[in-house]
Amino acid sequence: MPFVLYPNYMLPGKVERYPALVELSEKLRGKDRRETLGNAFAYLREHHASDDKIWLRENLMTLLQIGDFSTEHYIDKDCFLWCHTQNRLLKSILVNSGMFTENQVMIGRMFFWNPDSPYRGISVYIHQYALVDIGGTV
């Protein structure tokens, strides 16, 4: 279902540019790509990833958003973001920092088969991950 609802799952990863994002990207920019990636990852872990926030009603409702939506609404909030939105924000931060090109931040996708699901033992979960080239290492 999310492959149909969220173009961001299938697209290579759109890079956004708006004032608050550019300001955040400049703040997170480090002395090199490795430090910049570490700063961006720490920001996402602190503000947009949390097991205790996943099941909040307002977070679950974001799964019902249809279309290719912007991260601008979430940039100044401490809220859980699903993997596709975290990846869009991560890629945008890294590219806007000036330390990375769009081709150095790749978005991958995978399926999870969960035999322990209450739905007759089979459930499909999709997930996105980021591959970031920091110079000879991805």
pLDDT digits (tens, 9 = 90+) for 55-103: 777 777 776 666 667 889 889 888 888 888 899 999 999 999 999 999 9
The arithmetic mean of pLDDT across residues 99-126, rounded, is 72
Which of the two residues, 22 and 12, has the higher pLDDT score? Answer: 22
Q: Is the pLDDT of residue 41 over 70?
A: yes
In a domain, 137, yes or no: no
Cα 135 to Cα 36: distance, rounded to the nearest angstrom: 13
Q: Is the pLDDT of residue 1 over 50?
A: no
Q: How many domains does the chain have?
A: 1
Q: Is the pLDDT of residue 29 over 90?
A: yes
Residue-level pLDDT at 119: 56
Four-point Cα dihedral 96, 98, 103, 108, nearest 10: -50
In a domain, 138, yes or no: no
User: Which residues, in sequence order, are CB contacts of 116 under 8 Å at separation 6+?
Assistant: none
Q: Is the pLDDT of residue 40 over 90?
A: yes
Residue-level pLDDT at 59: 75
Q: Is the pLDDT of residue 118 over 60?
A: no
Closest CA to 126 of 83, 89, 97, 91: 83
Host domain of residue 60: 2-132
Q: Which regions of the chain does DSSP assign to beta strands (E)? A: 105-113, 124-132
**8 Å CB contact between 74 and 5:** no
CB atoms within 10 A of CB 136: 5
Block residue for tokens 């150095």 = 104
Cα 94 to Cα 37: distance, rounded to the nearest angstrom: 7
In a domain, 101, yes or no: yes
